[in-house]
Structure formats: structure tokens, C-alpha cells
Structure 1
Amino acid sequence: MSKYDELFDEVTAEESLFREKGALDPLAEPDGIHARDAQEHELASLLAGVHEGYVPPTVSIYGPPGTGKTLSTRRVCREFASRTDAVAVEYVNLKECRTLFSAANEILFELTGEKRGAYVGLDGVFEEIWTALEGYPEWTILILDEIDHVQYDSNYEPSDFFYRLLRGEGKLKRGIDLSVWLVSNELLEVDLRLDSRVESAMSDESVFFPPYRPGELASILKPRLERAFREGAVSEAAFEYGVREAARRWGDARKALTLFRQAGETASERDLETVTRECIDVNLEATDREATVSKLHDLPANHFLVLTAVTGWDQGGKIKQPVTTAETLSMLESETYPDELDLGERAVQGVLTDLETMGLVETWIDSRGREGRVKQIETTFEPQWVRDTMVHYVEESTYLGTDTEE
């Protein structure tokens, strides 16, 4: 027997609690959609406008991660299209698009299976998009996921991109009926800084997907856990506790699935017959960290920058928390940060408000007598996580991507 035989024997559980661990894959598409009846009804009502000759030019679909936005939108749109000959649906994920040109090219690729070189420019790509859509049914629903990542680059602005998409001459000349559905992970409205000519072409229709409540999360998890674990492997108490904590901390179905998978692995490693509350507790912090770090990676550059300043003060070898607004501004004005990253006080105040709304920081006013009132700022998570993710953010964030066309 080689050392690898011993290694694999060591890591293979003799009596695994799992029956089908793949059922807990957070990226696997479930058979049914739970706890999103209201949102599905809103989406279906917007689509039904086809029968009356009108679908909004844009629809904003937003909410935090893991709340069923993409799944529900794709499922409802495709089911509608399968019953309506006049409608086609295309889905494009923009998360990896570092420029507006590459975003347009990704749309073209979804329509034709081909991309174009930078030499044709944004107008050239859109001209081919309109040519492709001429062969489509009367109405096209274009779902653009991860719209948060659409941003300025050195060649084009979001207004340029959306003006061509909504009011492009090639589109109007061909009489193409296109409805663009924008899916965003932000709780706040995505700030695309669009100019008035574009805003006038956009509708105010929106559908919000809130975090899942405990009962809703339970309805999603129960059938998945029944497939994943052997009968009786997850005690009712552990299930209720895990659901309650997942709803309280995240309201995110994907994170909840990950939590129960990790808890099951912990139970198997400990040779336990069931997943216990202690197994849940052991993995809550790890899953919490994963959820927070994922959110940090997706922050716009200014938001991440302010968080580095909030966690930038040392006190006795530890990160100082809380800090004041003045200390945050002082850190941003220090030599640590290049001049081109300088933010004004008003901009920092706005970013702090955003971060608090997103649940990443909490603030309060501290009265200091004659010194007046001072705003205190503290992260809602372990501040070291910001420092731990800095290198990854700089290397991977699309907000710091190159400005060359792709």
C-alpha cells in the first residue's frame, strides 16, 4: 500500500452522513423556485405587456446576493417566451467585462457566437447586434446580469453604452423592439451617472428581491437537505438553528447551502451520527467570512478605498476600532494613498452612508462635551478581513481593470 492509498483511505468517510452532496451545490439550478411568488408575479406582469404592444425599455431587478434574482428572472422570461412566439430571451453576464466595449462584445457573442476586434469600435459592435436582432422574433428581452460592473473606462462612458442600447440609430431604423432587464446585486441603486438623454429613455420599472426570511429559507433548504443527507442525519433542532442563523446573518440561500454542507463535513470528520448545533456553530464564522469577503471583492473602488482607511489605524499592534470621520479622512490624505485616489469630505460621507446601508459598517454619534459631537465608524465584521483581501482586490477587481478595449 502506497502513501496515497493511506491518504485516500484517511479522507474517505466509512459512514458518511451524505447521500448526494451535490444537492447542496450553491450554483446548481433547483427544480423549483420557492418564496418568490410576488416577484415572479411582477416579472410576469411586465412581460404580459407584449400582448398590448408594450414592454418597458428597461427593468431594474435588484437585491443582495443569493436572493433568487437571476434564477427567477431567467426562469420566468424563458417560460413566457416558450409560450409566446413573438418573444425571445437572451441572458448575458457582465461580471468579467472590464470595459464597455467588452460588455457590448459579450452581448454580440450571445447573439451570434462571435466577437469583434477593438478596431470596429462600440458603434461597429452595436451595428452587428442590430443586424443579428433583425432575425429575432418581434420582441427581445435582453437580461444583463451583474450590471454593477458596468463603469467608466478611458474610451466610453455608461451613457454612451446605454444610449446605443436604447436609442441607437441602427435599432430605431430597423424598428427593433428590445427590452433590457438590468440585474444588480446592490441594495442601493447602481450609480451609472447617466446623462439626461439616456435617463429619459429608461423606465422606472423595478423589482426588488429582499433577503430571505427564516420561513422562506426553510422552504428552499428542506428539499435540498433531504436529497443531500441520509434520513435523520440533520436533527430538527440543528436545521431550525442553521436556518435561523443563516436568515439573520445573510438572507442568502447560497450561503445557507454552503453552511449545511460544511456542517455535514464537520459531523462526518468527528464521526457523529447527526449534524448538531455545534457543527453549525463551528462553520458559521467561516461562512460569514466567505460571504463578507465576497462582498468586499465586488465593492466599487471608492467604497473599498474608504474601508481600507476605516481599518487603517493601528493601536498597540491591533487595528483600531472605532475610528472617527476625521481619522478616516486623515488616513485617505496620508502618503499611503496616491493623489489621484484623493476623495473629498462629501464623497467620503456619501460612501460611508452606502457602506452602512450595505451592512458593512455601523456609525453613531459620540458626544465629547466641550469637544462637540463626533461620528464614530466601525466595521460590522472582523476588520482584518479588509487587509487580508487587499491584494486580491487590486489584482482581480473589475473596478480596477485595464482601460484598453477587449
Structure 2
Amino acid sequence: MSKYDDLFDEVTADESLFREKGVLDPLAEPDEIHARDAQERELASLLAGVHEGYLPPTVTIYGPPGTGKTLSTRRVCREFASRTDAVAVEYVNLKECRTLFSAANEILFELTGEKKGAYEGLDGVFEGIWEALAEYPEWTVLILDEIDHVQHDSNYDPSDFFYRLLRGEGKLKRGVDLSVWLVSNELLEVDLRLDSRVESAMSDEAVFFPPYGPDELAAVLEPRLERAFREGTVPEEVRDYGVAEAARRWGDARKALTLFRQAGETATERGLDQLTRECLETNLEATEREATVSKLLDLPTNHFLVLTAVTGWDQGGEIKQPVTTADVHSILEGETFPEALQLGERAVRGVLTDLETMGLVETWIDSRGREGRVKQIETTFEPQWVRDNRLRYVEESTYLGADTED
């Protein structure tokens, strides 16, 4: 036997609590969608307009991560298309697209399996898109996921991109009936900043996916937990505790699945024959951090910069919380931040409102006697997490480095 035989023997559990751990993979598509009946009905009602000769030019599907937006939208659209010869559905994820040119090219690739060279520009890409869609059925539903990652770059802006997509000459000339479904988090309006001509071309159809409550999250998790764990290894009271905590902290099904998987691994490593509340609590903090860091890395640049200031970061100084709006603005005007990244007070206030809506900061009014009333601001999570992930944000964020066409 080699050392690897011993190594693999050591890490292979004799009595694992799991029967089918892969069921807890957050990216695995379930057989059935639970707790989203109302949203599925809204989506289906919009699609049914085809039978009356109409689909809205755009539909916005929005809500926090892990609330079933993409899964439900893709499933309902594809099931409808499978029953309706006049409708085709295409899905494109734009998260990795760093420019508007690459976003358009990704759409073209989904339609044709080919991409255009940078020398052909956005005009060439859209010409290819319209030529491809002219061969499609009468109606096409184009689902664009992670749409909030679409941003200005050195050559084009989102208004230009969407105007071409919704009102492009090539589309009108060929009589292409296209309905664009935009899947996004709550920052859609903040990030795109579309001009009036594009906003007028976009319909007001929207479907909201709220965070899961305890009962909804239980409906999502219970079928998966029954398949993932061996019978009798997850006591009902422990399951209910984990579901309640996941709903209270996140309302995110993906994070809840991760929590139970990690807790099951902890129980197995400890040689337990059942999942315990302590195993869940051991992993709650790690999952909380993972969920928050994921949200931080997904923020637009201005939002992340304001968070660095909310943590009181200025040339490596100590964390100071709470802070005031004036403190945040003062830090952002300091030598630590280049002039190109500095924000005015009005912009700072707007970003802080967004961050509070996302649950990343909380604010309150502090009365200071003769000095008046001052708004206090602090993060809802461990502020050190912002500092720990500054370099990672620079390296991984799709909101930086969007200057080069690809």
C-alpha cells in the first residue's frame, strides 16, 4: 500500500450521514420548483399573450440571489415553448461579459455558435443576431441573466446596447418579434441608468422574487434533505432550526443548501449518527461570511468604495463604526482614493440608500443636542470582511477593467 491508500482511507467516512450529497449542490436543478407558484403564474400569463399576438418588448425579473429567479424563468419559458411551435427560447448569462461588445457577442454565440471579431464592432454583431433570429420561429424569448453586470465601457453604453436590441434597424427590417427578459438583482435601475429614449421603449412588466420565508424555504429544502441524508439522520427539530435560521439570515435557498451540506460533513467528521443543532451552528458563521463576501464581490464599484469608507478605512487606520455621511465623504476625498474614484455627497447618499436596501448597512438618527441630529451608519456584518476582500474585489469584479473589447 502507498501513502495515498492510507490517505484516502483516512478521508473516507465509514458511516456517512449522506445518501446522495449531490442533491445539496446549489447549482443542481431540482425536478420540481417549490414555493414559487405565484411568480410562475405571472410568467406564464405574460407568455400566454402570444395567443393574442403580443409579447411585451421587455420583462424584468428581479429579486435577491437564491430566490429562484433564473430557475423559474427558464423552466416556465422552456415548458411553454415546448408546447407552442411559434415560440423559441434562448438563455444567455452575461456575468462574465466585461464589455457591451462581449455581451452582444455572447448572445450571438448562443444563437449561432459563432462570434464576431472586434473589428466588426457592435454593428456587425447585431447584424449577425438579426440574421440568426430571422430564421427562428415567429416569436423569440431572449432571457438575459445577470443583466446588472452590463455597464458603460470605453466604446458603448447600456442605453446604446438596449436601443439596438429593442429598436435596431436590422430587427425592424426583418420583422423579428423579440421579447427580452432581464434577470437581475435589485440594483437593476441603479446600475443601468438608461436614458429616456430607451426607458420609453421598455415595458413596465416586472416579476419580483422575494426572499424565501421559513415555510417557503422548508418547502424547497425538505424534498432535497430527504434524498440527501440517510433516513433518521436529520431530526425534525434540527431541520426546522436550520431552515428558520437560513430564512432569517438570508432567505436564500442556495445558502441554505450549502449550510446543511457543510453541517452534514461536520457531523460525519465527528462520527455522529445524526445531524445536530451544534453542527448547524458551527457552520452558520462560515456560511454567513461566504454569503456576505459573495454579495460584496458582486457590488458595483461605487458601492464597494462607499463600504470601504463606512468601515472607516483610511490609509490602513483602525476600523471606526458607526460613521456619519460626512465621515464617509471625507474618507473618499482623502489621498487614499484617486480623484477618478471620488464621489460627491449626493452620490454618497444615494449609494448608502442602495446599501441599506440590500441589508449591508443600517442607519439611525443620533441626537447631539445643540449640534443637531446626525445620521449614523454601520455595516450589518463584520466590517473586517470588507478589508479582507479589497484585493479580491479588484481582481475578480466584473465592474473593473471594462475598457477593452473582446
Normalised-by-shorter TM-score class = over 0.9
> In the alignment, does 2:364 pair up with 1:364?
yes
CA contact (8 A) 1:85 1:137 kept: yes
Give the residue type in structure 2 aligned to 1:117.
G
Deviations, residues 144-199 of structure 1 (Å, cap 9, x unaligned): 00001000001001011001000000000010000000000226644312122211
1:390 is aligned to 390
Q: TM-score, normalised by structure 2?
A: 0.98
Give the residue type in structure 1 aligned to 2:250.
W
Q: Partners of 1:18 and 1:184 in 2: how far apart?
A: 34
The runs of 5 or more residues in structure 2 that have no matched partner are none
CA contact (8 A) 2:151 2:191 kept: no
Deviations, residues 236-287 of structure 1 (Å, cap 9, x unaligned): 1110000000000000000000000000011011111100111110000000
Aligned to 1:365, the other structure's residue is in SS state strand
> In the alignment, does 2:180 pair up with 1:183?
no
Aligned to 1:398, the other structure's residue is in SS state coil
2:55 is aligned to 55
Give the residue type in structure 2 aligned to 1:403.
D
CA contact (8 A) 1:188 1:354 kept: no
Label 1:337 to 1:187 Cα distance change in 2 as closer, same or farther (>3 A).
closer
Q: Partners of 2:185 and 2:132 in 1: how far apart?
A: 29
The number of equivalent residue pairs is: 406
CA contact (8 A) 1:78 1:89 kept: yes
Q: Which moved more, 1:228-237 or 1:192-201?
A: 192-201
CA contact (8 A) 1:184 1:190 kept: no
Structure 1 runs of 4+ off > 6 angstroms? none
CA contact (8 A) 1:57 1:179 kept: yes
1:144 is aligned to 144
CA contact (8 A) 1:154 1:403 kept: yes
CA contact (8 A) 1:61 1:208 kept: yes
Q: Partners of 1:138 and 1:131 in 2: how far apart?
A: 14
Aligned to 1:401, the other structure's residue is in SS state coil
Map 1:2-401; keep pairs closer than 5 Å.
2-186=2-186, 189-313=189-313, 318-401=318-401
Deviations, residues 189-237 of structure 1 (Å, cap 9, x unaligned): 4431212221111100000000001111111111101111100111111
Q: Partners of 2:334 and 2:198 in 1: how far apart?
A: 38
Give the residue type in structure 2 aligned to 1:103.
A
Query: Post-superposition shift, 1:5?
Result: 2.3
Aligned to 2:231, the other structure's residue is in SS state coil
Q: Partners of 1:60 and 1:214 in 2: how far apart?
A: 26
Give the residue type in structure 2 aligned to 1:225.
L
The runs of 5 or more residues in structure 1 that have no matched partner are none
2:405 is aligned to 405
CA RMSD of aligned residues (A): 1.4
Query: Post-superposition shift, 1:318?
Result: 4.6
Aligned to 2:14, the other structure's residue is in SS state coil
Q: Partners of 2:190 and 2:43 in 1: how far apart?
A: 20
Aligned to 1:399, the other structure's residue is in SS state coil
Q: Partners of 2:139 and 2:120 in 1: how far apart?
A: 27
Aligned to 2:217, the other structure's residue is in SS state helix
CA contact (8 A) 1:100 1:151 kept: yes
Identical aligned residues as a percent: 86
Q: Partners of 1:33 and 1:318 in 2: how far apart?
A: 47
Give the residue type in structure 1 aligned to 2:381.
F
Q: TM-score, normalised by structure 1?
A: 0.98
Aligned to 1:26, the other structure's residue is in SS state coil
Aligned to 2:256, the other structure's residue is in SS state helix
Query: Post-superposition shift, 1:4?
Result: 2.4
Q: Partners of 2:324 and 2:167 in 1: how far apart?
A: 46
Give the residue type in structure 2 aligned to 1:98.
R
Query: Post-superposition shift, 1:3?
Result: 2.8
CA contact (8 A) 2:148 2:188 kept: no
Query: Post-superposition shift, 1:7?
Result: 2.0
Label 1:330 to 1:91 Cα distance change in 2 as closer, same or farther (>3 A).
same
Query: Post-superposition shift, 1:319?
Result: 1.6
